[in-house]
Structure 1
Amino acid sequence: MAQLSREQFIAAIAPAVILVRQEGSPLFPSVRIAQSILETGGVIHAWNNLGGIKVGTGPANDYWQGEAVVRGTWEYVDNRSVEARAAFRAYKSIYHFYKDQDIFLSAARYAGVRQAGTPERQAQALQTSGYATDPEYANKLIALIRQYNLKRFDDQGKPQPLPSKLKGASLVPVIQQGQVLAPGYLRDGVTWIPARRIGEALGATIGWTGSKVTVNGKELETVLSESTGYVKVRDLAEVLGIGVTWDNEAKAVMLG
């Protein structure tokens, strides 16, 4: 993938980071974004592994089905940086990666990470628990948090109320090309999405008749809640000629 500016990289991963936090992730968004910058150098590769998680001996799960890539890496041995090759997990999206990482961090050795009350303490806990071999890992994370003002995302990761007209819905990610565009709301087998936010991200022209959303001029069935028009994801995708699949294990909408 082409090199992104640092702010482009942050903007690309932030929706997934915020969503998994809202779903109960133990990692502060500021720490997770800093970690993704540090681990990748600001590049989102096709295998969507933003945290250096190796294949290891863990079983497949709802978010990782056993796919892997072999890549060069650096390890710290006796305080020396040593070049090596390793098999890393590969994922359908960065959302899948973050959810698998949360499973990884549920191990007893990472109790300090889960219990940390501040981003700084969590960064230190990641190092002391052995997540990375770099002796400066915590300091590097903290420096990135400060440099890019990443704590601005921590409040956004707090649970948000559902749209009042979509009560009883479940929050689900809407994913295209490995990235979360926005959360959708699954109710009675139908996923409703914020039309303007997702439609414009997909290059559509979004309008409003006074009662219904239009996508490239076509009226769609609409739920209006808190001044936002929600449409069915399959209706919007049909207008744009985009395929839609449902990842039942991860409970995610995948746009082709």
Structure 2
Amino acid sequence: MAKMTREQFFAAIAPTVQLVWSEGSRMFPSVRMAQSLLESGGEIHAWNNLGGIKVGGGPINPYWQGQAVVKGTWEYIDGKTVSMQAAFRAYKSLYHFYKDLDLFLEAPRYERVRSAITPERQASMLLASGYATDPAYATKLMRIIEQYGLRRFDLPAVPQTMVRGFEDASIIPVIWQGGVIGTGYLKEGVTWVPARKIAEALGAIVGWTGTAVTVNGVELTSKLSMSVGYVKARELAMLLGVPIEWDPRARVVLLG
């Protein structure tokens, strides 16, 4: 991915961070975003690991499915900075990464991280619990939070809700180029997505005939709920020539 400014980086990861927050993550968005910048240097690589999570001995799960990359890194050992090669987990998307990181932080040693009630406390407990070896880790996180005003993302999480016509459906993240661009509803084996939000993010022109959604002038099978038109994710992707994948383990739709 091309080099981004800091604000572009935060804008790219914010929708995914906020979705995971709404799903019940106990990581403050401000801390999560600062950690992502600090660990990645502000670049989103194809392996989508923004937290320096190594392969380690942890089990494969719905979000980390065994993929890995080997790259250079450094650690503080006996007060010295030591360069080394290490195997890091690779992910299908940022959503997969953040969900796996939450599973990683469920270990007993990170209980103080999960129970922290302020970003300051959480940053300090990441260091105290051994997440990082850099003695200045917590200070660096808080410096990033203050410099870029990341506390603005720490609003109370608003849980995802069902809309009329999808009351018995499951909420499904929709991912484009690694990041979340919206959510859809899985009902009776079909994922329906908000046409304007998703299609326009893919560069399409969306219209409404009065009975159906049009995308680039083509009518698609549609459902209207609360003034929002929904279309089938696969029909939309096929029309636009966008690859689509259903990940049954993580329960997400991947586009592109």
Contact 1:4 1:43 in 2 (8 A): yes
- Whichever residue aligns with residue 178 of structure 1, its letter is G
Cα separation, 2, equivalents of 1:245 and 1:160: 23
Contact kept in structure 1, 2:109 and 2:129, CA below 8 Å: yes
User: Hey, what does 2:224 align to over in structure 1?
Assistant: 224
Q: Distance in 2 between matches of 1:151 and 1:226?
A: 32
Q: What is the CA–CA distance in structure 2 between the aligned matches of 1:18 and 1:165, rounded to whole Å?
A: 25
Question: Structure 2: which amino acid aligns with 1:36?
Answer: S
Q: CA deviation at 1:155?
A: 2.2
2:20 is aligned to: 20
Residue 214 of structure 1: aligned partner: 214
How far 1:156 sits from its partner (Å)? 6.7
Q: CA deviation at 1:151?
A: 2.0
Are the aligned partners of 1:29 and 1:157 in contact in 2 as well (CA < 8 Å)? no
1:106 is aligned to: 106
In the alignment, the residues of structure 1 paired with residue 156 and residue 115 of structure 2 have an alpha-carbon distance, to the nearest angstrom, of 20
Does residue 51 in structure 1 map to residue 51 in structure 2? yes
Contact 1:190-1:232 within 8 A present in 2 as well: yes
Q: Which residue of 1 aligns with 2:235?
A: 235
Q: String of CA shifts for 1:193-215, please: whole Å, max 9, x gaps.
A: 12111111111111222343210
AA matched with 2:6? R
Partner of 1:135 in structure 2?
Answer: 135
* Offset at residue 18 of structure 1 (A): 1.2
Q: Does structure 2 retain, via aligned residues, the 8 Å contact 1:19–1:183? A: no
Whichever residue aligns with residue 111 of structure 2, its letter is: A
* Residue in structure 1 matched with residue 246 of structure 2 by the alignment: 246
Whether the aligned pair in 1 keeps the contact of 2:184 and 2:194 (CA below 8 Å) is yes
Q: Can you give the 5+ residue segments of structure 1 that lack an aligned partner in the other structure?
A: none
**Structure 1 segment 63-212 matched on structure 2, within 5 A:** 63-155=63-155, 157-212=157-212
- Report which stretch shifted further, 42-51 or 70-79: 70-79
Deviations 1:118-166 (A, max 9, x none): 2221111111111011111111111211222212222274313322332
* Residue of structure 2 equivalent to 1:30: 30
User: TM-score, normalized by length of structure 1?
Assistant: 0.94
Distance apart, 1:229 and its partner CA: 2.0
- TM-score, normalising length from structure 2? 0.94
CA-based RMSD? 1.6
Amino acid at match of 1:43: E
In the alignment of these two chains, the number of paired residues is 256
Query: Partner amino acid for 2:132?
Result: A
Cα offset, 1:168, TM superposition: 2.4
Measure how far apart 1:61 and its partner are. 1.2
